[in-house]
Amino acid sequence: MALPTRLGRTAAAAALSMVALAATPGAAVAEPSPAKARAKLVKLNEQADQVVERYNQATEAYKKAKKKYGTLNTELRLKDARAVALRDDLVRLAVNDYQFGRLRGWERFAGQADPQAILNSMASFQEMTESRAAKIRAYEAATKELRDRRNDAKTTLAEADAARDKVSDEKSKIEKLIAEQTKLLRRLGAFKTGDPNSAGIKYTGPASGNARVALQFAFAQVGKPYRFGGTGPGSYDCSGLTQAAWRQAGVELPRTTWTQWSWGSARRVPLNALQPGDLLFSKGLGHMGMYAGNGKMVHAPQTGDVIKVVNLDDYWRTRLLGAVRP
């Protein structure tokens, strides 16, 4: 049965309105403001920072395992080659012994007139054979022990590789979300690309000694872009910046935020007694920076931002876990 005319017109109008709404890009969901978009990106980066730190740790563990495996593998090849050479030497000795004429033990030395010389020659021959055999046994024992260590290192390498792949998948998912949010910020004109060749700014704070050297370097990086896993010279992540800065002062820090916090377990200082150059760590160890003095911090913030100097105001202080003095 046909619908009443008025009801039919109402339904048709509603359907057309829905079609028009669906066909209008962005009509259903309004784009957020740049401030909201950046706030969301900050949250994503906080998650990403922790994942990236785990990824960096997994990568460092993989590198160490790979290096150990490579070293042991090379050492094993050399020992294997030495053992083969010794075995070949013993085989040649046995062949020569056989080719000497299949003579009885004393007959091969019968051409010598001096009986004592014969005995000495026979003893020497026997000692030489036993010595080579002993060396082979020793090398084979050492080779077996080394092969066991190499195989253990190979297992560790495989486990480290699997762990890195697992974190890498998690990292890829978050990076995809960050990429989408970054596109939005670019569209809104709120994305900072930074300049990999930035000359930074001059440090004029109260630091002295090694801390001043580290801060002078960090300030010279201001304006360069943040990049996941960045260790310079054109871009840095948060721990990459602190590591590079203190390296200039002759202090070698570990690679990641977590390992720098662990490294400083005996060097931690109260947040109410900060000195320039102290490393500042956020709760969760997803981010870090360096205290510059006068209530300021220099750090590499997150994707879509640049290395900068900020006031260590209440916002940052409430996020801090602790500080380490290199």
The pLDDT assigned to 170 comes to: 84
Catalytic center residues: 238, 287, 299
Which class for 184: exposed (0-12), middle (13-18), buried (19 or more C-beta within 10 A)? buried
**Domain edges within the chain:** 34-188, 209-324
The pLDDT assigned to 146 comes to: 77
DSSP 8-state class, residue 322: E
- What pLDDT, in 10s, does the model give residues 120-149? 554 555 666 676 677 767 767 767 887 888
| Contact call for residues 49 and 286 (beta carbons, < 8 A) | yes
* Domain at 209-324, CATH from 2.60.120.260, 3.40.50.300, 3.90.420.10, 3.90.1720.10: 3.90.1720.10
pTM, to two decimals: 0.58
User: Domain 34-188 carries which CATH code?
Assistant: 1.10.287
Ranges of residues in the chain whose predicted pLDDT is under 50: 1-28, 101-106, 108-109, 113, 115, 118-119, 122
**Terminal-to-terminal C-alpha distance of the chain:** 85
